[in-house]
């Protein structure tokens, strides 16, 4: 059975690479490893949650009008290894911990779901937020920023973050907690975690993530090179969008584990 699932994961990774949704590093190094660890620990149900996350991301990315200036964002298009790990790495760690500590399965499944709820909320906020007719505003300064700049929020994006988190949480409830008397609490719990994780993403994006300005054209961008080498105007150079995503999904996983300990 395990060989069958590993073959399936490999097929999916190769397909996503051929469809130019993943780079070779994203497909082989990250996605296959994350998928393998997930099916060994959490099981095929974990793959279903990953499918909901990645599948919805691909669909939303194709929406008409859902685009940003590729000169602004640091990365676009195919996901590389770091992007896959930043979104699903902590979920894989929780799955591995479940193998090592099976008696704590509920806690690590909660961490697994918390990680992906945060990733889903952030992705939906970004992809659907691009459809907003209004420019995003920086979370702290209130200044209007270009679409795609981290830390910028729109009302549509925030609503999308809640919806994405709710969908991921609802799928998890159907899989693991639909017959429990507190299933509605689990639903609220994971939806809130995903939404708060997305808010944290905006906080970090607005404060510590590196933002640069091109000396030639004046464009504010996440890139370190545009027309020429850009000048950092805010944040830390080591804090990229991938680092921010890694911190936020880690916070989502941690909130899931701690919340399960305290409330369930």
Q: Retrieve residue 78's tokens.
A: 């195919």
Q: Residues 113, 172: contact at Cβ < 8 Å?
A: yes
Q: Retrieve residue 47's tokens.
A: 């793959």
Query: What residues contact residue 40 under an 8 Å CB cut-off, 6+ apart?
Result: 2, 95, 96, 99
- Please tell me the distance from the alpha carbon of residue 206 to that of residue 234, in angstroms, as a whole number: 9
> pTM score, two decimals?
0.93
For the chain, the structural domain boundaries read 2-207+239-263
Instruction: Reduce the DSSP state of residue 213 to 3 states and report it.
Output: strand
Per-residue pLDDT for the chain (264 aa), expressed as one digit of tens each?
778 888 999 899 999 899 888 999 888 777 899 999 999 999 999 999 999 999 998 888 777 655 555 667 777 778 899 999 999 999 999 999 999 999 999 999 999 999 999 999 999 998 898 888 888 998 888 888 877 778 889 999 999 999 999 999 999 999 999 888 899 999 999 999 999 999 999 999 999 999 999 999 988 888 888 899 999 999 999 999 999 999 999 999 999 999 999 988
């Amino acid at each position: 059975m395990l060989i069958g699932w590993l073959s399936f994961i490999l097929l999916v990774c190769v397909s996503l690479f051929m469809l130019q949704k993943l780079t070779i590093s994203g497909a082989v190094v990250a996605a296959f490893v994350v998928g393998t660890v997930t099916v060994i620990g959490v099981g095929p149900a974990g793959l279903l949650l990953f499918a909901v996350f990645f599948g919805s991301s691909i669909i939303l990315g194709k929406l008409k009008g859902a685009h940003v200036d590729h000169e602004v964002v640091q990365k676009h298009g195919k996901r590389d290894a770091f992007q896959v790990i930043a979104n699903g790495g902590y979920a894989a760690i929780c799955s591995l911990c479940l193998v090592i500590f099976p008696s704590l399965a509920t806690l690590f499944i909660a961490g697994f779901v918390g990680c992906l709820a945060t990733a889903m909320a952030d992705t939906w906020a970004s992809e659907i937020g691009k459809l907003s007719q209004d420019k995003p505003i920086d979370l702290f300064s209130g200044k209007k920023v270009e679409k795609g700049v981290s830390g910028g929020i729109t009302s549509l994006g925030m609503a999308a973050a809640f919806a994405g988190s709710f969908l991921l949480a609802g799928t998890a409830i159907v899989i693991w907690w639909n017959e429990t008397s507190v299933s509605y609490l689990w639903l609220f719990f994971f939806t809130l975690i995903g939404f708060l994780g997305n808010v944290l993403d905006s906080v970090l994006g607005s404060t510590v993530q590196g933002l640069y300005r091109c000396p030639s054209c004046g464009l504010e961008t996440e890139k370190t090179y545009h027309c020429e080498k850009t000048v950092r105007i805010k944040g830390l150079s080591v804090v990229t969008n991938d680092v921010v995503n890694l911190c936020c999904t880690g916070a989502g996983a941690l909130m899931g584990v701690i919340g399960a300990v305290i409330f369930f």
